Structure 1
Amino acid sequence: MSGQERRPHGGRRPQRSGANRGPARTVQPARAVAYGVLRAVTESDAYANLLLPASIAEAGLDQKDAALATELTYGTLRRQGTYDAIIADAAGRPVSEIDPAVLDALRLGAHQLLSTRVAGHAAVNESVNLVATAQGRGAAGFANAVLRRIGRDTPGAWQQRIESAARSDDERLSLRTAHPVWIIRALRRALAAEGREDELDALLAADNASPEVTLVALPGLAEPGEPRRPYAPTAFASPGGDPHRVVADAAGAVRVQDEGSQLVALALAAARPIAEGEQWLDLCAGPGGKTALLAAVAHESGAVLEANEVVPARAGLVRNALRAVPGDVTVHEEDGRALAASRPGAFDRILVDAPCTGLGALRRRPEARWRKSPADVADLVALQTELLTEAVSALAPGGIVAYVTCSPHLAETTGVVSEVLRDRDDLVELDARAILADVARSPLDLADDGSGRVQLWPHRHGTDAMFLALLQRTPEGESR
């Protein structure tokens, strides 16, 4: 049968308006929300962690349905690669030949059948109803056949079946852990650089676990609640229920923020005593979490903070994040490289939280693993290097720059720092490990490669995999 003949049963040719459609079918609200988010991720490169809370609120879901929508969305996105291999086998065709709207419903159904306690008939019927509403009866029949085929075998049998077709050990591991092969290899290299390659399985498992919601209490504006997180003095765990209600009740003085993000911002502030009137810059500020924390510390200490975010919509998020902090923080909307180049020697502390692959936040942004590719790394490394280089030029003598990425990929972390250090003789690298140890409430298990750089890990620290290096510009006339 040709691809042309198969398309009406779920292939890429869209249905004509009204063609082959029956009456609209009822879809349970939590599944409708999850499906809507999956479609937005596929079609518009939306971020699930930003869209899902708004979609839940708009749909008016109660706590039980909100929890179901969250599990269905994140669970489906996390294991998408594994589900795609199973769907392709059950459908007898590559997923590239299945209409994207149908494929998202199949992924949602496969997740319920293989990874949840949802009754099989409910998983199939609800997913088929989604397809029927979106694409019509022909596509619904195709979806019904595929999902019933998946439901006939156990999760273990399906896993064994797809792994038996793998061409390498890494491909088998990819199918088992739902991480692309290139990411597995990048994470293995990063762990091996610490002498801890044996932690790879634990890291991959942590990427697929739902993270605890962590809150930040902005210094001078709020006090951390209970239970406290182990490391950042500003961090505490969500007390349960809707964390956004806690944020709203605190008028922005409490925010949702990963503990690792809090630690790297606090390390910049603690790198040396703060002098009255210091000038600070958050060069790549969106969406504003670290900016708000730095702004609170700056306000307490008499420093002046500026922020910059090149994307206007994200600059708006930065301004919103700063509303709880007294005083005015200027938020620029420029290319960070151009802004830094235009302000030589102007700043005492600069945070460069550089755009990156996001491999350190896969548990929080599961779609990132399917959205990025190895080809993205080279372009990002070039941008990261340029941002850090220009930031160094914007430092006053004795000023400090924190280079931060939410990625452990060696090219984005030590590679960038080493290249910038090679090109400049007016920089010294500070011991970020020692500085962070002074910030943290309890000891951090950090690898010591002699550089003083910090790599946090979800499986070891319960944080995103944040990287931190601290570079200080030497006084004029001195070189390292």
Structure 2
Amino acid sequence: MAQVNSGRGERGPERSGGGRSSGASGDNRSKGGASARGAGGAGRTGNGGSPGSSGGNWSKESRAGSARGAGGTSRTGAGSSSDSGAGRRSKDGAPQAGFGRDAGGSGRSGGGRSSDSGRDDRSKDGVSRAGSVRGAGGSGRSGGGRPSDSGRDDRSKDGVSRADSGRGAGGSGRSGGGRSSGRGDWAKDGGVRGNSGRDGGDRSGRGKRVEAGDPVRVAARDVLRAVRERDAYANLVLPALLRERRIAGRDAALATELAYGACRSLGLLDAVIAAGAGRPVAEIDGPLLDVLRLGVYQLLRTRIGAHAAVDTSVALARTEFGSGKAGFVNAVLRRAGEKSVEEWVDELAPSDPVGRLAFEFAHPAWIAQAFADALGARAGELREVLAADDARPAVHLVARPGDITAEELALVTGGEEGRWSPYAVYLDGGDPGKLEPVREGMAAVQDEGSQLVALALTRAPLLGPDNGRWLDLCAGPGGKAALLGALAAIDGFRIDAVEPAEHRAELVRRATADLPVTVHVADGRDSGLTPGYDRILVDAPCTGLGALRRRPEARWRRTPADVAELVRLQRELLSAAWDLLRPGGVVLYSTCSPHLPETVSVVADAVRRTGAEQLDTREYLPGVPDLGDGPAAQLWPHRHGTDAMFLAALRKPE
């Protein structure tokens, strides 16, 4: 979903197995219409060497003369139909970040990648546990009387909280509260095993005081504070903190898990805190609440030992607030730790089935209900949707047509070809920005679902010839415009891209550098462009409910009141696109939300007003199953490993 009036983060879904053959896809087209990939598609000649033989050293210079397959479609240094897009670099030579929708990254920062395959949160069935809209104020009390924030801190004689040494072997990153598939686990003392015996940076392996010297939890707390005080985005704040403070490896993985996990789980955490404190969370000072949220998250949704979770949180509170408030934190956390997460869910969750699932899986109830409505007859899949939505997404790359194939990109990066898009590659881990093809502008981070949206637009049949006038009406930050531009370049077509915000328009320019794309800074509802376009993409601003895992805190910021204004904007943009479309042309409407008022209702209104012919969009996603009852197509993370993208193709009668 491109943002017209405000910034919006992008996406990149979970991996789901299965490789893709390298045969011709029908999308890498030469000007003559022949497949540019050929039967084998992977063989390369000239200076490039065989795929992967140079350990990822795939500069554009090494690709002169590379063969795309039989039939004379090989790229050379000059004269190739796709040369105009070579490099895709900005004028200053910087590689183009922002080609993909994931402008804010995938929410990964250093450390290992979780597989989300293991148990989590001490649950018996292995399902990730989280919480949702149990508001501030909570419900039941947990044991005894109300803790006082001036109470004593039950610590050691010297008054200093003590942490265990964090010694052990093995370990890897965790995601969304789930257990990592790497060797080992988070150590029970709150450190990460196999990290020189450290918990928070101590290389000695000896026990140490956990005060300001616990950089992992300090970083996680600071992210929570930025989100609460400044409405910051966790997936933008945390990577900068990790770089600035030189937190890397397993420590970075733990900081990421704590920060993002706590942001996702605010509903459950606040309900438990309110029960343990005997007061609404609104009556607790914000900075102290950040520490409590971090502590309760460790107690209920990680395998960090209770002693370490309490001890480190009390130490954070003592360092910043003194012994009195540290005692309050100690009392609340000890009450929170008296019950398992399952017991807290039983005690605090709403009784209705949707509300209970929402509480358990860290979604506001209205969002869970929106998902259930969109699932329709398959509403029984709601648990799977929420579980997938509460997990950390994997990173997807897009191989730029005319520069590199998905097969080659997978070989160079060690990734796996995508299942649905002929240009998608799934990564196991690591920083995609360090990969040579990404630095060279030959590939970028982009959700496979976003790739499918762009491809569906190019595949929808027109009435009459395609004259090569394409339009991306909501283009920022430029991911879909870049993929469309690379495809257009092969056929000698051109694209106009509209974005009202200058800073986002600049992102589009960078993402589409050297491509046949003209960027216009204008409101899509009144762009001033000349009508007559063959194909128009309206990737409309929306609630983003289908991409909540990209921004851990976003689910708690959206409200039902946001929907009406967005729906009005969506209808106006689709109407403007219709006016710019030539008879026989196609407009593709898409959102990264499955919410029915933003999807089928907007399309039905347009069909009613314009007499548009609604095409069966599922036909333009060949090989992709379970897209709904049609004629629109709905992607889901639990089915397709993508964000919950909606897309509908409308054709203008002649």
Report the TM-score when normalising by structure 1: 0.85
Instruction: Write the mapping of 1:10-409 to structure 2, written as runs, cut at 5 A.
Output: 25-132=211-318, 135=321, 137-163=323-349, 166=350, 168-192=352-376, 195-224=377-406, 225=410, 226-246=415-435, 249-272=438-461, 278-323=468-513, 326-327=514-515, 329-339=517-527, 342-409=528-595
Mean Cα deviation higher: 296-305 or 238-247: 238-247
Q: What amino acid is aligned across from residue 422 of structure 2 in structure 1? A: P
SS of 1:199's equivalent? helix
User: Is contact 1:275-1:303 (8 Å) kept?
Assistant: no
1:109-142 per-position Cα deviation (integer Å, ceiling 9, x unaligned): 2111111122323322333344445555544333
SS of the residue corresponding to residue 307 of structure 1 reads strand
Distance change (3 Å), C-alpha of 1:88 and 1:401: same
Map of 1:460 onto structure 2: 639
Change (3 A) 1:269 1:312: same
1:77 is displaced (CA, Å) by 1.9
Measured in 1, the distance between the counterparts of 2:326 and 2:532 equals: 62
Moved over 6 A (4+): 273-276
Give how far 1:148 is off. Answer: 2.5
Q: What's the secondary structure of 1:334's corresponding residue?
A: coil
- Supply the RMSD in Å over aligned alpha carbons: 2.6
Q: Give 1:466's aligned amino acid.
A: M
Query: Residue 598 of structure 2 aligns to a residue in which SS?
Result: coil
- TM-score, reference length from structure 2: 0.64
| TM-fit CA distance, 1:349 | 1.6
Contact 1:275 1:302 in 2 (8 A): no
Q: Identify the range of structure 1 (130-139 vs 367-376) with the bigger mean alpha-carbon deviation.
A: 130-139
Change (3 A) 1:43 1:307: farther
| 1:453 Cα deviation from its structure 2 partner | 0.6
Deviation at 1:371, TM superposition (A): 0.8
Q: CA deviation at 1:248?
A: 7.0
CA change 1:290–1:102 in 2 (3 A) is farther
CA drift of 1:276 comes to 7.4
Residue 14 (structure 1) aligns with: none
Q: For 2:297 and 2:577, how far apart are their aligned partners in 1?
A: 45
User: 1:145–1:251: structure 2 CA closer, same or farther, 3 Å change rule?
Assistant: farther
The amino acid that maps onto 1:204 is L
Q: How many correspondences in the alignment?
A: 444
1:74-107 superposed Cα distances (whole Å, 9 cap, x missing partner)? 2112222111111111111111222222222222
Question: Which one of 417, 421, 430 corresponds to residue 607 of structure 2?
Answer: 421
Which of 411-420 and 304-313 deviates more? 304-313
Secondary structure, counterpart of 1:411 in structure 2? helix
Matching residue's letter, 1:63:
G
Q: Which residue identity does 2:444 align to in structure 1?
A: R
Residues 402-450 of structure 1 deviation map (CA, whole Å, 9 limit, x = unaligned): 100001000000000011111113x22222111112xxxx34222224x
Residue of structure 2 equivalent to 1:13: none
Q: SS of the residue aligned with 2:339?
A: coil
Contact 1:354 1:405 in 2 (8 A): yes
1:7 positional shift: 13
Q: Which residue does 1:433 correspond to in 2?
A: 618
Correspondence for 1:18:
none
- Alpha-carbon offset, residue 306 of structure 1: 2.1
- Classify the secondary structure of the residue corresponding to 2:355: helix
Instruction: Say if 1:32 and 1:399 are closer, same or farther in 2 by CA, change over 3 A.
Output: farther
Q: Secondary structure at the match of 1:299?
A: helix
Is the Cα contact below 8 Å between 1:27 and 1:130 reproduced in 2? no
CA–CA distance in structure 2, aligned partners of residues 104 and 126 of structure 1: 13
Q: 1:227 to 1:199 in 2, by over 3 A?
A: same
Residue 418 to residue 124, structure 1, CA distance change in 2 (3 Å): same
Is this contact kept in 1: 2:234–2:551, CA < 8 A? yes
8 A contact 2:488–2:516 mirrored in 1: no
CA radius of gyration, larger in: 2
Change (3 A) 1:32 1:245: farther
Partner secondary structure for residue 260 of structure 1? helix
Q: Which of residues 611, 627, 636 is equivalent to 1:446?
A: 627
Q: Which moved more, 1:32-41 or 1:195-204?
A: 32-41
Query: CA 1:362–1:327 in 2, change beyond 3 Å: closer, same or farther?
Result: closer
Mapped to 1, the partners of 2:320 and 2:648 lie a distance apart of: 49
Kept after mapping to 2: 8 A contact 1:260/1:466: yes
Q: Cα distance 1:120–1:435, how it changes in 2: closer, same or farther (>3 A)?
A: same
Q: Is the 8 A contact 1:229 1:236 kept in 2?
A: yes
Alpha-carbon contact 1:132-1:139 (below 8 Å) kept: yes
| Contact residue 101 and residue 131 of structure 1 kept, 8 A | no
The answer to whether the 8 A contact 2:147-2:278 is kept is no
Deviation at 1:470, TM superposition (A): 0.8
